[in-house]
Structure 1
Amino acid sequence: MPALLLIAHGSRDPRHAATVAALVQEVRALRPGLDVATAYLDHCAPRIPQVVGRLGDAVAVPLLLNRAYHAKHDIPAALRTAGAALPVAAVLGPSPLLLAALDRRLAEAGVDVRSAAVRARTGVVLAAAGSSDPAADAATRTVAAGWRRSRGWAAVEVAYASATGPRVPDALAALRAAGAARTAVSPYLLAPGLLPDRIAEAAAGADAVAAVLGPAPELAALLLERYDEARTAATTPRTLTA
């Protein structure tokens, strides 16, 4: 069975690597016997060239929510530089498992996500990092729309911690203007760091503020789902068409 090479962005904040390590433990618990290795694009060690040489057969799984610059350019370039022709899985979003992980974190923050009545009165800010890639931001808006539609929130507004606005306070104001009786902020981010801290500070006026997705079991299951999809695609013969 090929190894799962989890490729994370990396951060100078030590909480980032600790969160990735905890997530790897969740993946290993779900699938004992699978070789799971981690490599980072920046700031943290080990880097991709340090890891791929010892793995042999492997599937690269990006720890990324959207298909933006890192997924389109940085990871393929790093693998090429390392001389590793590995199958690369799709990014994590969108997925129902991500919505379930967002629900989990809101529930931990005190929101009764199981109550339809509570959801109907609550407006949520989906607070993402933001990207210079319009397609990535559009994907985040698609997640927000799907979350509202499937759960029946009063409204879901997207805010960004970097790049262009709107910012969290703007999104909270929009929710209140739309009639939300209560508000919550849900970071659409994978690990603690500068941007999640910025979001938490800006969310001071919300009734509830969730934690980052972190080592949620739904996220571990999603990583394995992406691994299985890429592994199957790599071993399925292509059908030639005339």
Structure 2
Amino acid sequence: MKTIVVKCGGSVLSELSESFFDSMKELKEQGFAIVFVHGGGPEINSMLEALQVKSEFKNGLRVTSEQVLKTAELALAGSLNRKLVRMLEEHGIPAIGLNSSDNGLLKADFINQEQLGYVGDVTTVNSHFIQLLCEEQLLPVMTPLAAGPNGTVLNINADHAACAVANALQAEHFLMVTDVDGVLKDGQLVPALTKAETEALIDTGVISGGMIPKVQSALKAFSDHVQSVHIVSGKKAFYEQGEWLGTKFVKEKVTI
């Protein structure tokens, strides 16, 4: 089964366009199974602010106390997951929401409990169960939560969770959906980048701000199984008539 894993950031969920869903349907019609892993940073932040709970980040990871974890679970599994499932179904794509900590769909170990609290790295993915759902023509929509040791639930960086799922499923393509077209240079989309070219654009400031962690995550997604990684926009079509749009990260040399 040809599989595409899509990581959708929480900040772009409300901006997904009709054209984006048209691309999804085109890929489904071509026989691809699609699996979503979504984030939820903005909604988690809003809930924490409303509850007057302080939150901080260390090395790009949210320090997760028990209260922060409960809030993250509510935002991710109770709100955003349901929202994305409804959006897919409204566009004619049968989907099923999965809280990834249930029944060990994702399993993880603490990264550093003393410094980060309930934050983990994925160790196991129940790829068999995900594939069964795909065989039933359902699109799994997964939260970045995992079952930890001794019955705990761990918060997982959504990029890292999606990478783990893509590798476990040996996905043909890994897509990172953002609110921009891809990497831009002099106002023009860069269609393809190697690791060396990406690092050079970071050093010269062409890639800056929030795009830096996106491209770094894209490069980390490469593995023996995942050979095709893209940053695409959720505001427009990312696949039309067999052509991928956005920035593709490649291992061979390309010209910028």
Q: TM-score if structure 1 supplies the norm length?
A: 0.31
**Structure number with bigger Rg:** 1
TM-score (norm 2): 0.30
More strand by share: 2
